[in-house]
Amino acid sequence: MTQGKIFGVTDGPAPTRFFDRTYDEAYSLLVEARSYVRHGASVDSGGLSGHDRLRFALESMRVTSRLGQVMAWLLTEKAVHAGEISRDEATADSGGLSGHRVCLDDRRELSEGMPPQLSSLLDRSLALYVRVARLDEMTRRPH
């Protein structure tokens, strides 16, 4: 089976390295977010008012949503690139990267005053989600 193009570039070592770096970045960010939620979030949210704790929970879930959507998309792309599924199969069910309404919502007023580690996770997960959304658009264009 011919792999064709991935991310608009002919198959070969360069696209694989690019994909692997993006996957590694997403995975590292996911592990960091998991560790934060498990260990640091309760300490950081403990001193917040009731309203701010609600905002904290909302923004924590936004990070989780972004990273979950990105990882699902990357794993699907990995399967396409490995020839395990076709491009048509990859886009048939989910239609590609989803969750745009929640994941692209970047209302700074919601994250103002949040602990620094959560703010950092919000910024980095948004940047990653935006990059992967562009890649998703590229994979949908006719070649």
pLDDT of residue 8: 43
pLDDT of residue 20: 84
Tokens of 130: 């935006």
The fold of the 10-140 domain, in CATH, is Helicase, Ruva Protein; domain 3 (1.10.8)
Residue with tokens 């991310």: 7
pLDDT of residue 6: 45
Quick one: pLDDT band at residue 143, thresholds 50, 70, 90? Answer: low
pTM of the shown model? 0.82
CA distance linking residue 14 with residue 10, whole number of Å: 9
Rounded (5°) CA angle 32-131-84: 85
Residues in Cβ contact with 85 at an 8 Å cutoff, skipping those fewer than 6 apart: 76, 79
pLDDT for residue 15 is more than 60: no
Q: What is the mean pLDDT of residues 1-28?
A: 64
Q: What is the pLDDT of residues 106-136, one digit of tens each?
A: 777 767 778 999 999 999 999 999 999 998 8
CA distance linking residue 103 with residue 99, whole number of Å: 6
Task: Spell out the domain ranges in the chain.
Answer: 10-140
Quick one: pLDDT band at residue 12, thresholds 50, 70, 90? Answer: very low
Lowest mean pLDDT among 30-34, 84-88, 92-96: 92-96
Q: What is the pLDDT of residues 20-63, one digit of tens each?
A: 899 999 999 999 999 999 988 888 888 888 888 888 889 999 99
